[in-house]
């Protein structure tokens, strides 16, 4: 998927008001995901994303351990929004990435995340 298609899909799915805000949400989500992933998974994921978005991921993941609520809080802090909105946006980002990258790679990324991250990986609409 091309960058503009990915941003448009995330903007629509995440109900994000502007293109710029969608880009902020994507970069915030990828930065926090990069903090959570260990080893080369971050680099592998970046290799399958458009360069402007891939730059938010580190070459080597830090493998920090934190729960899902902390994940959403960190995304909110990076994005400059509330955790509830960050949840909606992060889920839209991961849903778009899931269909954009090699399925095997996405499975490897998902396998690094504990069971409580199932909410993040869900492609179902967010219920408030």
Q: What whole-number distance in Å separates Cα of residue 41 and Cα of residue 127?
A: 30
- Report residue 127's pLDDT band, with 50, 70 and 90 as the boundaries: very low
**Per-residue pLDDT reduced to its tens digit, 16-66:** 999 999 999 999 999 999 999 998 889 999 999 999 899 999 888 789 999
Beta bridge partners of 62: 38
Neighbours of 50 (CB within 10 A): 17
Task: Give the orientation angle of helix 19-36 with respect to helix 3-13, to 10 degrees.
Answer: 90
Q: What whole-number distance in Å separates Cα of residue 26 and Cα of residue 1?
A: 14
The domains of the chain, with CATH numbers, are: 3-121 (1.10.490.110)
Q: What whole-number distance in Å separates Cα of residue 73 and Cα of residue 87?
A: 9
pLDDT for 92: 95
pLDDT for 128: 40
Q: What whole-number distance in Å separates Cα of residue 103 and Cα of residue 27?
A: 21
Tokens 């080597």, residue located: 60
């Amino acid at each position: 998927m091309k960058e503009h298609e990915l941003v448009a899909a995330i903007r629509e799915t995440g109900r994000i008001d502007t293109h710029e805000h969608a880009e902020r949400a994507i970069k915030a989500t990828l930065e926090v995901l990069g903090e959570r992933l260990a080893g080369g998974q971050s680099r592998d994921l970046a290799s399958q994303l458009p360069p402007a978005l891939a730059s938010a991921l580190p070459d080597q993941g830090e493998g920090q351990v934190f729960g899902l609520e902390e994940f959403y809080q960190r995304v909110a802090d990076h994005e400059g929004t509330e955790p509830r909105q960050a949840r909606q946006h992060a889920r839209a980002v991961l849903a778009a990435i899931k269909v954009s990258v090699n399925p095997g790679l996405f499975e490897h990324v998902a396998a690094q995340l504990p069971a409580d991250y199932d909410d993040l990986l869900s492609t179902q609409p967010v219920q408030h």
